[in-house]
Amino acid sequence: MQLLKSLTATWRGIPKEIRVFLQRALIIFILWKLVYHLFLFNGRIIDRPLTDWSAKGAEQLMQWVYPGTRLQVAEECKPNPELNNELSCMHFLWLNGKKVVGIADGCNALELYVLYIGFLFAYPVGIKRTGLFILAGVPLIYIANIVRLAVLAYMNMHRISAVSIAHHYVFKLVVYALIFGLWVLFIRQKQEHATTT
């Protein structure tokens, strides 16, 4: 009982604006996970078109880098023993008949979009400002992701030894820095607007 009282006192000691943000963030997180895992995950309702869209964006970017080559995107599905033989699908980018990069659903940036948008909705500002930052930020994240995919394809062909470090560390750092920068801009402009009015 003492622990509960202590936690309640600590919670009440947090400034109201931060409490509102944390409550909204928690609700958004729980709702997203419920909707995604109960309705969207198994049918790949969002993942399939978003992975395809990301793969085709990387394909178009690679076409600029390798003009005159034959590029294509193909989806391949096979049973995954780790998932009770459920189908596991990936999109592959092919260059002149050779696989150069595989794009799983986890590479389509869906979680990044949700993280970015969830933060914007959790932060207490007007819908107009939130909508503006969604319309500006989501395309920037998409572009960063397709650049990442295209560079990984290039590295698979020319710098295979650096692919693992780039994929697991460098690109994550770059994309999360972009999202963090957008959040800072979102918060800073709101604070500047509040101090001038």
Does residue 196 form part of some domain? no
For residue 21, what are the CA distances in angstroms to 12, 24, 119, 138? 14, 5, 9, 21
8 Å CB contact between 123 and 25: no
Does residue 195 form part of some domain? no
Other CB atoms within 10 Å distance of the CB of residue 34: 10
Residue 145's closest CA among 10, 55, 42, 67?
Answer: 55
Does residue 86 form part of some domain? yes
Write the pLDDT tens digit of every residue in 106-143: 889 999 999 999 999 888 888 899 999 999 999 999 99
Which residue range is the domain that position 51 belongs to?
Answer: 2-190
Does residue 138 form part of some domain? yes
Write the pLDDT tens digit of every residue in 76-96: 888 777 767 677 888 999 888
Does residue 173 form part of some domain? yes
CA dihedral sign of residues 170, 175, 181, 187: negative
Q: What is the pTM of this model?
A: 0.82
Does residue 82 form part of some domain? yes
pLDDT of 182: 93
Number of domains in the chain: 1
Return d(Cα 142, Cα 117) in angstroms, integer.
13
8 Å CB contact between 54 and 145: yes
pLDDT of 78: 83
Does residue 111 form part of some domain? yes
Return d(Cα 105, Cα 45) in angstroms, integer.
11
For residue 18, what are the CA distances in angstroms to 12, 123, 126, 163, 193? 11, 9, 16, 39, 19
Strand partners, 101: 93
Residue 157's closest CA among 21, 64, 74, 62?
Answer: 62
- Rounded to the nearest 5°, which phi and psi values hold at 76? -125, 135
Does residue 33 form part of some domain? yes
Return d(Cα 32, Cα 12) in angstroms, integer.
27
